[in-house]
Amino acid sequence: MVAEILSIGDELLTGQKVNTNARFICSELAGAGIGVQRIIVCADSVGGIVEQFRDSLRRAELVIVTGGLGPTHDDKTKQSVQQFLERKLVLDREVYARTVERYRKSGREPSAYLRHNAMVIDGAVVIPNEKGLAPGMIISCTEHFDGHYLVLMPGVPLEMESMMRSTVVPFFSRKSGSVIVHSHIKTTGIGETALADIIGEIKETLPDGTSLAYLPHMAGVNLRVSSTGKDRGVVESDNRGVVDAIAGVAGEFVYATTDISLEELIGRMLLSRDLKIATAESCTGGLIAGRLTDVAGSSRYFEQGFVVYSNVSKEKVLGVKAETLDAHGAVSEEVAAEMAEGCLLRSGANIAVSSTGIAGPGGGTAEKPVGMVCLGLAIRKGGVGVEICTTTFYTQGDRLRNKARFSEAALRMVWKELRSSPAQG
Protein backbone atom coordinates (compact mmCIF):
# COMPACT_ATOMS: atom_id res chain seq x y z
CA MET A 1 0.00 0.00 0.00
CA VAL A 2 1.35 3.43 -0.97
CA ALA A 3 0.27 6.68 0.67
CA GLU A 4 0.35 10.41 0.01
CA ILE A 5 -0.10 13.10 2.62
CA LEU A 6 -2.04 16.23 1.82
CA SER A 7 -1.56 19.05 4.32
CA ILE A 8 -4.00 21.89 3.88
CA GLY A 9 -3.39 25.38 5.20
CA ASP A 10 -2.23 28.78 4.02
CA GLU A 11 -0.09 29.10 7.16
CA LEU A 12 2.16 26.31 5.82
CA LEU A 13 2.74 28.21 2.56
CA THR A 14 3.59 31.61 4.00
CA GLY A 15 6.46 30.42 6.16
CA GLN A 16 4.47 30.83 9.31
CA LYS A 17 4.41 27.17 10.29
CA VAL A 18 6.54 24.15 9.64
CA ASN A 19 4.78 20.93 8.66
CA THR A 20 5.51 18.74 11.65
CA ASN A 21 2.25 16.79 11.15
CA ALA A 22 3.57 15.25 7.94
CA ARG A 23 6.67 14.01 9.71
CA PHE A 24 4.60 12.34 12.41
CA ILE A 25 2.27 10.67 9.90
CA CYS A 26 5.21 9.41 7.78
CA SER A 27 6.85 7.92 10.79
CA GLU A 28 3.65 6.18 12.00
CA LEU A 29 2.89 4.82 8.52
CA ALA A 30 6.46 3.58 8.05
CA GLY A 31 6.06 1.62 11.25
CA ALA A 32 2.97 0.00 9.73
CA GLY A 33 4.79 -0.95 6.54
CA ILE A 34 3.12 1.76 4.48
CA GLY A 35 5.45 3.90 2.41
CA VAL A 36 4.71 7.58 1.76
CA GLN A 37 5.61 8.63 -1.78
CA ARG A 38 4.64 12.29 -1.64
CA ILE A 39 3.74 15.03 0.82
CA ILE A 40 1.81 17.91 -0.69
CA VAL A 41 0.99 21.17 1.02
CA CYS A 42 -1.77 23.16 -0.62
CA ALA A 43 -3.77 26.27 0.08
CA ASP A 44 -7.26 26.62 1.60
CA SER A 45 -9.00 26.68 -1.77
CA VAL A 46 -11.68 24.19 -2.83
CA GLY A 47 -10.58 24.14 -6.47
CA GLY A 48 -6.96 23.35 -5.64
CA ILE A 49 -7.89 20.75 -3.04
CA VAL A 50 -10.25 18.88 -5.37
CA GLU A 51 -7.62 18.85 -8.11
CA GLN A 52 -5.11 17.49 -5.62
CA PHE A 53 -7.51 14.74 -4.41
CA ARG A 54 -7.77 13.53 -7.99
CA ASP A 55 -4.03 13.66 -8.61
CA SER A 56 -3.06 11.93 -5.39
CA LEU A 57 -5.75 9.21 -5.49
CA ARG A 58 -4.65 8.37 -9.00
CA ARG A 59 -1.17 7.54 -7.64
CA ALA A 60 -1.85 6.34 -4.08
CA GLU A 61 -4.30 3.98 -2.44
CA LEU A 62 -4.23 6.00 0.75
CA VAL A 63 -4.44 9.79 0.88
CA ILE A 64 -4.19 11.28 4.34
CA VAL A 65 -5.50 14.83 4.60
CA THR A 66 -4.86 17.09 7.58
CA GLY A 67 -6.20 20.56 8.23
CA GLY A 68 -9.23 22.46 7.09
CA LEU A 69 -11.69 20.75 9.47
CA GLY A 70 -11.95 23.32 12.24
CA PRO A 71 -14.32 26.18 12.94
CA THR A 72 -12.54 29.01 11.12
CA HIS A 73 -13.68 30.41 7.81
CA ASP A 74 -10.83 29.02 5.79
CA ASP A 75 -11.73 25.40 6.48
CA LYS A 76 -12.44 23.92 3.12
CA THR A 77 -11.83 20.19 3.45
CA LYS A 78 -15.35 18.79 3.94
CA GLN A 79 -16.66 21.05 1.21
CA SER A 80 -13.98 19.78 -1.19
CA VAL A 81 -14.72 16.11 -0.44
CA GLN A 82 -18.44 16.72 -0.95
CA GLN A 83 -17.78 18.28 -4.31
CA PHE A 84 -15.21 15.68 -5.35
CA LEU A 85 -17.24 12.58 -4.39
CA GLU A 86 -20.67 14.14 -4.89
CA ARG A 87 -21.78 12.92 -1.48
CA LYS A 88 -24.08 14.40 1.14
CA LEU A 89 -23.13 15.51 4.62
CA VAL A 90 -25.04 13.67 7.35
CA LEU A 91 -25.29 14.40 11.06
CA ASP A 92 -23.31 11.98 13.23
CA ARG A 93 -25.54 11.85 16.33
CA GLU A 94 -22.84 10.32 18.51
CA VAL A 95 -20.32 13.06 17.73
CA TYR A 96 -23.01 15.70 18.22
CA ALA A 97 -24.16 14.30 21.57
CA ARG A 98 -20.59 13.98 22.85
CA THR A 99 -19.56 17.52 21.93
CA VAL A 100 -22.74 19.01 23.38
CA GLU A 101 -22.07 17.06 26.57
CA ARG A 102 -18.48 18.27 26.65
CA TYR A 103 -19.59 21.90 26.32
CA ARG A 104 -22.17 21.44 29.12
CA LYS A 105 -19.56 19.87 31.41
CA SER A 106 -17.18 22.77 30.93
CA GLY A 107 -20.00 25.23 31.59
CA ARG A 108 -20.18 26.58 28.05
CA GLU A 109 -23.43 27.04 26.13
CA PRO A 110 -23.51 24.62 23.14
CA SER A 111 -23.19 26.79 20.02
CA ALA A 112 -24.68 26.36 16.57
CA TYR A 113 -21.22 25.42 15.37
CA LEU A 114 -21.44 22.01 17.11
CA ARG A 115 -24.08 20.85 14.64
CA HIS A 116 -21.95 21.89 11.67
CA ASN A 117 -18.98 20.20 13.33
CA ALA A 118 -20.86 16.88 13.65
CA MET A 119 -21.81 16.76 9.94
CA VAL A 120 -19.75 14.02 8.28
CA ILE A 121 -19.40 12.69 4.73
CA ASP A 122 -22.06 10.09 4.03
CA GLY A 123 -20.60 6.57 4.29
CA ALA A 124 -17.45 7.60 6.22
CA VAL A 125 -16.02 5.64 9.13
CA VAL A 126 -16.00 8.33 11.80
CA ILE A 127 -12.83 8.76 13.93
CA PRO A 128 -13.71 10.10 17.37
CA ASN A 129 -11.71 13.18 18.46
CA GLU A 130 -10.49 12.51 22.00
CA LYS A 131 -8.63 15.82 22.26
CA GLY A 132 -10.88 18.29 20.48
CA LEU A 133 -14.07 18.84 18.54
CA ALA A 134 -13.83 18.02 14.84
CA PRO A 135 -14.26 14.29 14.06
CA GLY A 136 -11.93 12.56 11.62
CA MET A 137 -13.12 10.35 8.77
CA ILE A 138 -11.98 7.33 6.77
CA ILE A 139 -13.70 7.43 3.39
CA SER A 140 -13.64 4.64 0.83
CA CYS A 141 -13.66 6.34 -2.60
CA THR A 142 -15.65 3.69 -4.45
CA GLU A 143 -17.08 6.24 -6.92
CA HIS A 144 -13.84 7.26 -8.61
CA PHE A 145 -11.04 5.09 -7.24
CA ASP A 146 -12.22 1.75 -5.99
CA GLY A 147 -10.10 0.40 -3.13
CA HIS A 148 -8.59 3.84 -2.50
CA TYR A 149 -9.13 5.78 0.72
CA LEU A 150 -9.28 9.39 1.81
CA VAL A 151 -8.58 9.97 5.50
CA LEU A 152 -9.51 13.36 6.96
CA MET A 153 -8.09 14.64 10.23
CA PRO A 154 -7.82 18.04 11.93
CA GLY A 155 -4.51 19.94 11.66
CA VAL A 156 -4.11 20.35 15.42
CA PRO A 157 -1.16 18.04 16.18
CA LEU A 158 -2.47 16.55 19.44
CA GLU A 159 -5.85 15.70 17.90
CA MET A 160 -4.34 14.26 14.72
CA GLU A 161 -1.72 12.21 16.59
CA SER A 162 -4.32 10.65 18.83
CA MET A 163 -6.51 9.72 15.81
CA MET A 164 -3.56 8.22 13.94
CA ARG A 165 -2.64 5.99 16.84
CA SER A 166 -6.12 5.00 17.98
CA THR A 167 -7.78 4.39 14.61
CA VAL A 168 -5.95 5.13 11.36
CA VAL A 169 -2.80 3.03 11.81
CA PRO A 170 -4.67 -0.04 13.17
CA PHE A 171 -7.23 0.21 10.32
CA PHE A 172 -4.62 0.24 7.52
CA SER A 173 -2.12 -2.14 9.17
CA ARG A 174 -4.80 -4.80 9.08
CA LYS A 175 -5.25 -4.11 5.37
CA SER A 176 -1.55 -4.13 4.31
CA GLY A 177 -0.15 -7.23 6.00
CA SER A 178 3.52 -6.01 5.54
CA VAL A 179 6.25 -6.07 8.13
CA ILE A 180 8.73 -3.20 8.38
CA VAL A 181 11.92 -3.03 10.44
CA HIS A 182 14.09 0.09 10.95
CA SER A 183 17.56 0.15 12.42
CA HIS A 184 19.64 3.16 13.31
CA ILE A 185 23.38 3.44 12.93
CA LYS A 186 24.68 6.43 14.84
CA THR A 187 28.14 7.65 13.95
CA THR A 188 30.54 10.28 15.18
CA GLY A 189 33.76 11.64 13.73
CA ILE A 190 32.98 11.04 10.06
CA GLY A 191 31.22 13.15 7.43
CA GLU A 192 28.65 12.15 4.81
CA THR A 193 31.14 11.91 1.92
CA ALA A 194 33.70 9.83 3.77
CA LEU A 195 31.00 7.50 5.12
CA ALA A 196 29.50 7.11 1.64
CA ASP A 197 32.94 6.09 0.38
CA ILE A 198 33.40 3.45 3.07
CA ILE A 199 29.97 1.82 2.68
CA GLY A 200 29.57 2.35 -1.06
CA GLU A 201 29.67 -1.32 -1.92
CA ILE A 202 27.15 -2.31 0.74
CA LYS A 203 24.79 0.34 -0.52
CA GLU A 204 25.04 -0.98 -4.07
CA THR A 205 24.16 -4.53 -3.04
CA LEU A 206 21.25 -4.06 -0.61
CA PRO A 207 18.71 -6.90 -0.47
CA ASP A 208 15.34 -6.24 -2.15
CA GLY A 209 13.02 -4.32 0.17
CA THR A 210 15.88 -2.79 2.17
CA SER A 211 16.86 0.86 1.87
CA LEU A 212 19.52 3.05 3.43
CA ALA A 213 19.07 6.72 4.38
CA TYR A 214 21.78 9.23 5.31
CA LEU A 215 20.68 11.61 8.04
CA PRO A 216 23.30 14.37 8.32
CA HIS A 217 23.34 16.71 11.31
CA MET A 218 25.53 19.64 12.43
CA ALA A 219 28.38 17.46 13.68
CA GLY A 220 28.21 14.33 11.51
CA VAL A 221 25.85 11.85 9.93
CA ASN A 222 23.61 8.98 10.99
CA LEU A 223 22.19 6.13 8.92
CA ARG A 224 18.85 4.39 8.96
CA VAL A 225 18.36 0.94 7.45
CA SER A 226 14.72 0.11 6.62
CA SER A 227 13.49 -3.30 5.45
CA THR A 228 9.98 -4.34 4.45
CA GLY A 229 8.39 -7.57 3.25
CA LYS A 230 5.75 -10.13 4.09
CA ASP A 231 7.87 -12.48 6.21
CA ARG A 232 9.10 -11.11 9.54
CA GLY A 233 12.00 -13.56 9.74
CA VAL A 234 13.37 -12.59 6.32
CA VAL A 235 12.82 -8.87 6.91
CA GLU A 236 14.63 -8.95 10.25
CA SER A 237 17.51 -11.00 8.94
CA ASP A 238 17.94 -8.79 5.84
CA ASN A 239 17.96 -5.73 8.08
CA ARG A 240 20.39 -7.18 10.58
CA GLY A 241 22.70 -8.30 7.76
CA VAL A 242 23.04 -4.76 6.42
CA VAL A 243 23.56 -3.26 9.88
CA ASP A 244 26.26 -5.81 10.65
CA ALA A 245 27.98 -5.22 7.32
CA ILE A 246 28.08 -1.44 7.92
CA ALA A 247 29.25 -1.86 11.50
CA GLY A 248 31.95 -4.18 10.12
CA VAL A 249 33.48 -1.58 7.79
CA ALA A 250 32.70 1.64 9.70
CA GLY A 251 32.86 0.28 13.24
CA GLU A 252 35.32 2.79 14.64
CA PHE A 253 32.84 5.60 13.91
CA VAL A 254 29.69 3.77 15.07
CA TYR A 255 28.74 4.53 18.66
CA ALA A 256 25.28 2.91 18.62
CA THR A 257 22.92 0.81 16.50
CA THR A 258 19.84 2.14 18.30
CA ASP A 259 18.33 5.61 18.03
CA ILE A 260 20.24 7.27 20.86
CA SER A 261 22.27 10.49 20.99
CA LEU A 262 25.94 10.50 21.91
CA GLU A 263 25.19 12.44 25.10
CA GLU A 264 22.49 9.92 26.10
CA LEU A 265 24.89 7.05 25.55
CA ILE A 266 27.59 8.77 27.60
CA GLY A 267 25.02 9.31 30.37
CA ARG A 268 24.17 5.60 30.44
CA MET A 269 27.86 4.64 30.44
CA LEU A 270 28.59 7.02 33.32
CA LEU A 271 25.66 5.62 35.32
CA SER A 272 26.62 2.01 34.73
CA ARG A 273 30.21 2.78 35.81
CA ASP A 274 29.02 4.92 38.74
CA LEU A 275 31.05 7.90 37.53
CA LYS A 276 30.42 11.64 37.57
CA ILE A 277 31.54 14.07 34.91
CA ALA A 278 32.54 17.73 34.93
CA THR A 279 33.37 20.14 32.10
CA ALA A 280 35.85 22.98 31.65
CA GLU A 281 35.07 24.92 28.49
CA SER A 282 36.59 27.86 26.75
CA CYS A 283 35.66 28.09 23.06
CA THR A 284 32.59 25.79 23.33
CA GLY A 285 31.16 28.26 25.83
CA GLY A 286 28.96 25.84 27.77
CA LEU A 287 27.82 23.72 24.85
CA ILE A 288 29.41 20.50 26.14
CA ALA A 289 27.67 20.97 29.49
CA GLY A 290 24.50 21.97 27.64
CA ARG A 291 24.46 18.78 25.58
CA LEU A 292 25.21 16.56 28.56
CA THR A 293 22.37 18.19 30.52
CA ASP A 294 19.92 17.97 27.61
CA VAL A 295 19.43 14.39 28.76
CA ALA A 296 16.64 13.82 31.30
CA GLY A 297 18.09 12.60 34.60
CA SER A 298 21.57 13.98 33.86
CA SER A 299 21.73 15.47 37.36
CA ARG A 300 22.62 11.94 38.52
CA TYR A 301 26.00 12.06 36.77
CA PHE A 302 26.67 15.65 35.72
CA GLU A 303 28.59 17.19 38.57
CA GLN A 304 29.58 20.63 37.45
CA GLY A 305 30.72 22.79 34.57
CA PHE A 306 33.01 25.78 34.17
CA VAL A 307 33.02 28.21 31.28
CA VAL A 308 36.34 30.03 31.39
CA TYR A 309 36.83 32.43 28.53
CA SER A 310 39.55 34.74 29.80
CA ASN A 311 43.09 33.72 30.77
CA VAL A 312 42.47 35.21 34.19
CA SER A 313 39.51 32.94 34.80
CA LYS A 314 41.44 29.93 33.53
CA GLU A 315 44.06 30.66 36.17
CA LYS A 316 41.77 31.72 38.99
CA VAL A 317 38.97 29.20 38.58
CA LEU A 318 40.84 26.15 37.30
CA GLY A 319 44.39 26.76 38.46
CA VAL A 320 45.94 26.86 34.99
CA LYS A 321 49.51 28.15 35.46
CA ALA A 322 50.46 31.57 34.11
CA GLU A 323 53.72 30.07 32.79
CA THR A 324 51.81 27.49 30.77
CA LEU A 325 49.60 30.18 29.25
CA ASP A 326 52.67 32.29 28.46
CA ALA A 327 54.73 29.47 27.01
CA HIS A 328 52.09 27.74 24.88
CA GLY A 329 49.19 30.18 24.55
CA ALA A 330 45.60 29.59 25.70
CA VAL A 331 44.88 27.33 22.71
CA SER A 332 47.30 24.50 23.41
CA GLU A 333 47.19 20.91 24.58
CA GLU A 334 49.20 21.97 27.63
CA VAL A 335 46.48 24.40 28.72
CA ALA A 336 43.73 21.89 27.87
CA ALA A 337 45.48 19.38 30.14
CA GLU A 338 45.69 21.80 33.06
CA MET A 339 42.08 22.87 32.55
CA ALA A 340 40.89 19.26 32.68
CA GLU A 341 43.02 18.47 35.70
CA GLY A 342 41.94 21.61 37.55
CA CYS A 343 38.32 20.87 36.75
CA LEU A 344 38.62 17.31 38.02
CA LEU A 345 40.25 18.33 41.29
CA ARG A 346 37.90 21.24 41.97
CA SER A 347 34.66 19.45 41.07
CA GLY A 348 35.16 16.10 42.75
CA ALA A 349 34.04 14.37 39.54
CA ASN A 350 35.69 11.17 38.27
CA ILE A 351 36.17 12.40 34.73
CA ALA A 352 36.62 15.92 33.39
CA VAL A 353 36.74 17.14 29.82
CA SER A 354 38.11 20.49 28.63
CA SER A 355 38.11 22.55 25.44
CA THR A 356 40.18 25.51 24.31
CA GLY A 357 40.15 26.59 20.68
CA ILE A 358 39.22 29.15 18.07
CA ALA A 359 35.57 29.14 17.02
CA GLY A 360 35.98 32.18 14.80
CA PRO A 361 35.27 34.12 12.74
CA GLY A 362 38.16 36.15 14.19
CA GLY A 363 41.19 35.16 16.26
CA GLY A 364 42.87 32.68 13.91
CA THR A 365 46.54 32.66 12.90
CA ALA A 366 48.51 30.57 10.40
CA GLU A 367 49.73 28.37 13.23
CA LYS A 368 46.45 28.23 15.13
CA PRO A 369 43.67 28.65 12.56
CA VAL A 370 39.95 29.17 13.11
CA GLY A 371 38.48 25.71 13.54
CA MET A 372 41.27 24.37 15.74
CA VAL A 373 40.50 23.06 19.21
CA CYS A 374 42.62 21.42 21.90
CA LEU A 375 40.75 18.98 24.12
CA GLY A 376 41.77 17.51 27.43
CA LEU A 377 40.53 14.60 29.49
CA ALA A 378 41.39 13.98 33.14
CA ILE A 379 40.33 10.72 34.75
CA ARG A 380 40.60 9.69 38.38
CA LYS A 381 42.01 6.15 38.34
CA GLY A 382 41.38 4.30 41.62
CA GLY A 383 44.52 4.33 43.74
CA VAL A 384 46.84 5.43 40.96
CA GLY A 385 45.97 9.11 40.79
CA VAL A 386 44.89 11.13 37.80
CA GLU A 387 45.46 10.24 34.17
CA ILE A 388 45.41 13.02 31.61
CA CYS A 389 45.26 12.86 27.85
CA THR A 390 44.89 15.55 25.21
CA THR A 391 44.19 15.84 21.51
CA THR A 392 43.89 18.52 18.85
CA PHE A 393 41.04 18.57 16.34
CA TYR A 394 40.62 20.70 13.23
CA THR A 395 37.43 21.55 11.33
CA GLN A 396 36.15 24.26 9.02
CA GLY A 397 32.87 26.04 9.44
CA ASP A 398 31.17 29.11 10.78
CA ARG A 399 31.21 29.86 14.48
CA LEU A 400 28.14 27.80 15.41
CA ARG A 401 29.19 24.80 13.33
CA ASN A 402 32.68 24.92 14.81
CA LYS A 403 31.24 25.02 18.34
CA ALA A 404 28.99 22.04 17.48
CA ARG A 405 31.86 20.02 16.02
CA PHE A 406 34.21 20.92 18.88
CA SER A 407 31.61 19.73 21.39
CA GLU A 408 31.06 16.56 19.37
CA ALA A 409 34.82 15.89 19.36
CA ALA A 410 34.93 16.42 23.14
CA LEU A 411 32.01 14.02 23.72
CA ARG A 412 33.65 11.54 21.36
CA MET A 413 36.80 11.66 23.47
CA VAL A 414 34.73 10.93 26.60
CA TRP A 415 32.89 8.09 24.85
CA LYS A 416 36.13 6.46 23.71
CA GLU A 417 37.57 6.67 27.21
CA LEU A 418 34.44 5.16 28.79
CA ARG A 419 34.28 2.42 26.17
CA SER A 420 37.73 1.27 27.24
CA SER A 421 36.79 1.10 30.93
CA PRO A 422 34.46 -1.66 32.13
CA ALA A 423 30.93 -1.11 33.47
CA GLN A 424 30.32 -2.04 37.09
CA GLY A 425 27.88 -4.45 38.75
Map the footprint of a second copy across residues 140-199, applying CB under 8 A: 156, 158, 192-193, 196-197
Q: Return the number of other C-beta atoms located less than 10 Å from residue 307's C-beta.
A: 17
Binding segment for a second copy (CB under 8 A), chosen from 9-17, 139-147, 234-242, 246-254, is 9-17
Nearer to a second copy, 153 or 308 (CB): 308
Q: Report the site for a second copy in 374-393 (rule: CB under 8 A).
A: none
**Which element (helix H / strand E) includes 63?**
strand 62-66
- Looking only at the bridges linking them, the beta strands covering 89-91 and 372-380 are unpaired
Among positions 98, 175, 346, 416, the unique one binding a second copy when judged by CB under 8 A: 346
Alpha helices in 35-89 (DSSP H): 46-59, 77-85
Residues 220-249 that bind a second copy (CB under 8 A): 224, 226
- Verify binding: residue 281, a second copy, rule CB under 8 A: yes
Q: Rounded to the nearest whole angstrom, what is the least distance from the CB of residue 293 to a second copy in the complex?
A: 3
* Distance, CA of 80 to CA of 75 (rounded, Å): 10
Q: Which is nearer to a second copy, 143 or 310 (CB)?
A: 310
Residue 138 is which amino acid? I
Q: Which amino acid is at 410?
A: A
Does residue number 268 form part of the binding site for a second copy (CB under 8 A)?
A: no
Q: For residues 74 and 123, which CB has a smaller minimum distance to a second copy in the complex? A: 74
Contact with a second copy (CB under 8 A): which of 119, 125, 245, 317?
A: 317
* CA atoms of 88 and 57, how far apart (whole Å): 20
Q: How far is the CB of 71 from a second copy (least distance, A)?
A: 5
Residue by residue, DSSP assigns 404-425 as HHHHHHHHHHHHHHHHTSPPP-
The only residue of 78, 148, 186, 403 in contact with a second copy, by rule CB under 8 A = 403
> Which one among 98, 116, 175, 203 touches a second copy, defined by CB under 8 A?
203
Which residue's CB is nearer to a second copy, number 255 or number 301? 301
Interface residue with a second copy, options 1, 19, 332, 411 (CB under 8 A):
19
Specify whether the CB–CB gap between 187 and 220 falls below 8 A.
yes
Quick one: which of 285, 342, 357, 376 contacts a second copy (CB under 8 A)? 285
Residues 52-81 binding a second copy (CB under 8 A) are: 55, 70-74
3-state SS of 348-389 is CCCEEEEEEECCCCCCCCCCCCCCEEEEEEEEECHHHCEEEE
Left if phi > 0, otherwise alpha if psi is -120 to 50, otherwise beta: which for 86?
left
Q: Give the 3-state secondary structure of residue 112.
A: coil
| Rounded least distance, CB 38 to a second copy, Å | 5
Segment near a second copy (CB under 8 A); pick from 232-240, 241-249, 307-315, 410-418 = 307-315
Interacting residues with a second copy between 80 and 119 (CB under 8 A): 102, 106-107, 111, 113
* Closest C-alpha among 386, 391, 390, 396 to residue 350: 386
| Burial (0-12, 13-18, 19+ Cβ within 10 Å), 245 | middle
Residue of 313, 333, 345, 368 interacting with a second copy (CB under 8 A): 313
Interface of this chain with a second copy, residues 353 to 372, rule: CB under 8 A: 360-363
How far apart CA 78 and CA 101 sit, in angstroms, is: 24
Binding a second copy by CB under 8 A: which of 97, 312, 327, 386? 312
Interface stretch with a second copy, choices 40-48, 91-99, 236-244, 379-387 (CB under 8 A): 40-48
Near a second copy by CB under 8 A: residue from 91, 142, 144, 211: 211
In the complex, what is the shortest distance from the CB of residue 187 to a second copy, in angstroms, rounded to a whole number?
14
Residue 256, helix vs strand vs coil: strand
Q: What SS3 class is residue 15?
A: coil
CA distance 217 to 71: 39
Alpha carbon distance, N-terminus to C-terminus of the chain = 48
How many positions of this chain bind a second copy (CB under 8 A)?
101
Based on the shown chain and the rule CB under 8 A, indicate whether residue 420 belongs to the binding site for a second copy: no
Smallest gap from Cβ 302 to a second copy, in A, equals 5
In the complex with a second copy, which residue's Cβ is closer, 125 or 345?
Answer: 345
Q: Buried b / exposed e across 12-25, counting CB within 10 Å, b at 16+? A: beeeeeebebbebb
Query: Would you count residue 424 as binding a second copy (CB under 8 A)?
Result: no
Would you say 193 or 420 has its CB closer to a second copy? Answer: 193
Q: State the nearest-atom distance from the C-beta of 122 to a second copy, in Å.
A: 25
